[in-house]
Amino acid sequence: MRKLPRVLVVEDEPSIAELIAVNLRHNGFAPTVVFDGAAAQREVDAVLPDVILLDWMLPGESGASLARAWRKNERTKTIPILMLTARSDESDKVQGLDAGADDYITKPFSTQELLARIRAVLRRRAPEIVNDSVQVGELALDAATYRITFRGTELKVGPTEFKLLHYLMKHAERVHTRGTLLDKVWGDHVFIEERTVDVHVKRLRESLGEASGMIETVRGAGYRLTSMNNTGRPAQGAPISAA
């Protein structure tokens, strides 16, 4: 029997929570509903969900605070989180993404949009396994074993950041627009905003540590991954081609 994806719904308005749960059950998901951060943490501690729908405004600890805590925890850092909120300003969206959300859904939202976004983050959580390896300078990625090393030290990155780095490394020294990265890394997910790329690049740089300088921001264009010279700085004079 096929295992249904587990969805933890953290929503303090019972009517909204029940509506979400009913639609999830009818579309092949196994929802668990809680109404505050403490209950959400107990559920996560007991069994890891496949995805979390997280309301921003909760009694006690906020959804943004929960997301930050889960992202810092080794056990929960890769769980996809979709933030649900009535806060629709761009600054609020950026704050939600910076807190660790993979996507941001503003209320009111349609059931079909919600389901599509859940399926999208689940697809991104389990990237297609390609039995190849790629190396740029001292940074190496093995897609078959899901390992990244820099100067012999293994690095830990989230699933979306892994796909992003894999693509950048396979197309090193090229400048990629945010739109191109959305198409090539996220696929045909029409709901994702270009600003999302910036957030994931920021996370990727943080995970890469000393290798973070290999990812360059090209003003007015996008991003490029380049090799590093012996000084630890990005190599200069490498050929550049437009994305």
- Do 75 and 156 touch, CB atoms closer than 8 A? no
Average pLDDT, rounded, for the chain: 84
Q: At 15, phi and psi to the nearest 5?
A: -65, -40
Residue at 1 is within a domain:
no
Helix axes 195-208 and 90-99, enclosed angle (nearest 10): 30
The answer, as to whether pTM is greater than 0.75, is no
pLDDT in tens, 105-116: 888 888 898 998
- Do 115 and 149 touch, CB atoms closer than 8 A? no
Residue 145: half-sphere exposure toward Cβ, Cα within 13 Å: 10
Same domain, 185 and 236: yes
Q: Which residue has the tokens 């780095």?
A: 165
Residue at 238 is within a domain:
yes
* DSSP label at residue 208: H
pLDDT in tens, 3-13: 688 999 999 99
Q: Which domain holds residue 45?
A: 6-125
Q: At 12, phi and psi to the nearest 5?
A: -85, -5
Last residue of a domain, one of 125, 153, 169: 125
Same domain, 25 and 50: yes
pLDDT in tens, 17-71: 999 999 999 999 999 999 999 999 999 999 889 999 999 888 888 888 999 999 8
Same domain, 117 and 138: no
Please, what's the largest Cα pairwise distance for the chain? 60
Whichever domain contains 189, its CATH number is: 1.10.10.10
